[in-house]
Chain A
Amino acid sequence: MSSKAPAETQGASRFTLDFRTLGPFVALALLMILGTMINATFISSANLTNVLTRSAFIGIIAVGATFVISAGGIDLSVGSMAAFISGVMIIAMNHFVNTVGVNWTTVMIGMGLSVALGLAAGLANGLVTTKGRIDSFIVTLGTMGIYRSLVTYLADGGTLSLSFQLRGIYRPVYYGSFLGIPIPLWAFFVVAVIGWIVLNKTRFGRYCLAIGSNADVAAYSAINVDRIRTLTYVVQGLCVAVATIIYVPRLGSASASTGVLWELEAIAAVIIGGTALKGGTSRLWGTVAGAIMLSMIGNILNLTDAISQYLNGAVQGVIIIVAVLVQRSGKGR
């Protein structure tokens, strides 16, 4: 019975906080207007398709990060994990080309392996955090280094490249489209919808928020805190695996520089979207808007020479902070 408490809190506040939920979308709309004013090419469907498709990797990973953060944790290992899974996928698929052949079966094996690795890596993060009673920041900082080194080792310091014939088969997963919308965007959309349902309409989702707002109270309410927390990392691992499946066909390669800083981008997308870094709230569609904004900022800067390239980082920083301010100002007093 007491486990219902957080759900009720959320239900009661849904209407009063509606404007806060809108904040990220207002910021996104402002950014799009700004982009169009800077260069009309921005709003062309070709450019928007590019930007949205690009945002799919960070976006899908950020959906997973929304689970981890709303339950009061953090996962810094996602970028390295994506690089590591890409590397293993490529090695495995190149190997199976010889035995299974150049066909979809080989690609499916690679995808299956990616999902298995993502789940296992997430489970490892979760178990070490909960059973080892170590802060998730430290655990995932450790695994971040481990995965990064492993991919460097696998690539022998160079770049792992997918066999050329196989790329021909796998390529449409990134470059292809269905009903005029690129496949990565469909994947992003489906992952976001599933994520929203799980987070808002299931007991697991409510437990995540309860633990994020107060883990002790949640434990007294007979919630198995360790299990739920571990599961959030598994969800995150699964999201990383899905992102990787879409990433690999883009350039068909993985190296030590793959996925660098993705973890910070994913966390930034979640926070811009309105989820609190300390946990206890979640705004999944806000996360989606946040991820799209992040890739739009880079795109807009590339479409103009009005701003010195040397200042790109500063402009990005200002826009991120302003975006969060827009969202906070909608909160009301």
Chain B
Amino acid sequence: MKRVLGILLVLVLAAALFVPGQVLAQDQVTIGVSIPAATHGWTGGVNYWARVTADRLQEQHPNINIVLLTAGSAGEQANDLEDLVAIHNIDALVILPFESDPLTDPVDFVKQSGVFVTVVDRGLAREGIEDIYVAGDNPAMGRVSGEYMVEALGGEGKIVILRGIPTVIDNQRFDAFMEVVDETDIEVLDWAYAYWNRDDGFEVMQDFLARFPEIDAVWAQDDDIALGVIEAVKQAGREDELFIIPGAGMKEVIARVMEGDRLTPVNVLYPPAMIATAMEVTALVFVSDAPFMGTYIIDSPLITPENAERFYFPDSPF
């Protein structure tokens, strides 16, 4: 085992010596980026934005080197962190944690080795570890969806809700939505988990349509779920009686909003591009003397036919 490690070390050193243009000057900065693998649409978007941003930052700042690793599970991500510190000798870490709790200690460990830490989207279980925190606003996403729902229905009507995966994120969105809707005469017929995917969205909506003869609106909360819901509604021939509020900002759904589709009149943003924000800000820490430490909350604005073009990225997979 030791011999294998020794050989590896020699290889790594040899590689470092022969990589052209890699000047080991003192202002050479390595930023490690650790994100979940692309297991569903939204994380696919995260991967795309991380890649694009890494390329651009390295081109803009020749002294910045970015190492991008994707992990399939929380455990794998913890291993990645060890590799980033031990092998790549990173100066800064940008991490979108797979799960908050299991990764709190590993990230803390990285921090204690003197690395600058930026946490994205899912906050760690303990405060005070990260230097920069970039996050979407989950309660705002629920609230904005709720406010549009109330406005579009004129304060009364019957709705169903399709939720994501039972997680903190999902609870925050749901609670904020309900807080807005509870004060009105809108009746929530029922809700069910649709696991942020199309097949479950389709099946749950089929059942809701069979069960409730009258539905005025659907809060699908997610674009993948919404696409499944749309098919179920079309199959039942009830596309004239209701509308759907999706969420996140998938290009297919933004395109529908741009065209003024009646079924999906709006969308509510929860951008995977927040990983790009985090990487940009982290890079700036090393090239500028301005203060950047703190918390950055990315808004969840309502996307309407009027402003949809600003949120449409045809090259992104999401």
Contact = CB atoms under 8 A, between A and B. Distances in A.
A61 to B, nearest CB: 14
B44 interface: yes
Contacts of B10: none
Given A159-B198, A256-B40, 14 more contacts: A46-B210, A47-B207, A157-B44, A175-B235, A251-B198, A255-B40, A256-B38, A256-B39, A256-B44, A257-B199, A302-B208, A303-B211, A305-B190, A309-B191
A310 B191 CA distance: 11
Given A159-B41, A298-B203, A310-B166, A257 B211 contact: no
A109 B37 CA distance: 32
Contacts of B204: 302
Contacts of B231: 250-251
Contacts of A44: 210
Nearest to A258: B199
B123 interface: no
Contact of B317 (A158, A305, A310): A158
A251 B227 contact: yes
B207 A299 contact: yes
Interface of A: 39, 41, 44, 46-47, 50, 54, 152, 155-159, 161, 175, 250-251, 253, 255-258, 298-299, 302-303, 305, 309-310, 312
B246 interface: no
Contact of B45 (A41, A158, A299): A158
Of residues B43, B193, B199, B235, which shows the largest number of chain A Cβ atoms within 10 Å of its Cβ? Answer: B199
Contacts of B197: 255, 257
B224 interface: yes
9 contacts: A47-B210, A155-B44, A159-B41, A253-B198, A255-B198, A302-B203, A309-B191, A309-B192, A309-B193
Contacts of B198: 159, 251, 253, 255, 257
A72 to B, nearest CB: 31
B210 to A, nearest CB: 4
B206 interface: yes
B33 to A, nearest CB: 15
B192 to A, nearest CB: 6
Interface string B182-223: 000000001111011111001110111011000000000000
Contacts of A175: 235
A156 B47 CA distance: 9
B203 A251 contact: no
B116 interface: no
Given A157-B48, A251-B227, A50 B38 contact: no
Contacts of A50: 206-207, 210
Given A158-B318, A257-B197, A41 B202 contact: no
A283 B183 CA distance: 55
A78 to B, nearest CB: 15
B108 interface: no
Interface of B: 37-41, 43-45, 47-48, 166, 190-193, 195-199, 202-204, 206-208, 210-211, 224, 227-228, 231, 235, 252, 316-318
A236 B117 CA distance: 49
Given A152-B39, A175-B235, A257-B197, A303 B207 contact: yes
B211 A41 contact: yes
Contacts of B252: 159, 161
Contacts of B193: 309, 312
A51 to B, nearest CB: 9
B317 A156 contact: yes
Contacts of B44: 155-159, 255-256
B40 A257 contact: yes
A102 B318 CA distance: 25
Contacts of A155: 38, 44, 317
Contacts of B228: 251
A302 B160 CA distance: 12
Contacts of A312: 193
Contacts of B227: 251, 253
Contact of B38 (A158, A161, A253, A299): A158
Contacts of A303: 207, 210-211
Contacts of A157: 37-38, 43-45, 47-48, 317-318
A152 B210 contact: no
Given A251-B228, A258-B199, A302-B192, A39 B211 contact: yes
B55 to A, nearest CB: 15
A54 B203 contact: yes
A152 B70 CA distance: 13
Contacts of A298: 203
A302 B45 contact: no
A158 B191 contact: no
A251 B203 CA distance: 11
B38 A251 contact: no
Contacts of B45: 157-158
B39 A257 contact: yes
A184 to B, nearest CB: 12
4 pairs of A and B residues whose beta carbons are closest in the complex: A157-B38, A158-B317, A157-B44, A302-B207
Given A157-B38, A159-B317, A302-B204, A251 B199 contact: yes
Nearest to A262: B199
A220 B196 CA distance: 52
B235 A152 contact: no
B65 to A, nearest CB: 23
Contacts of B210: 41, 44, 46-47, 50, 303
A8 B48 CA distance: 61
Nearest to A50: B206
A50 B208 CA distance: 12
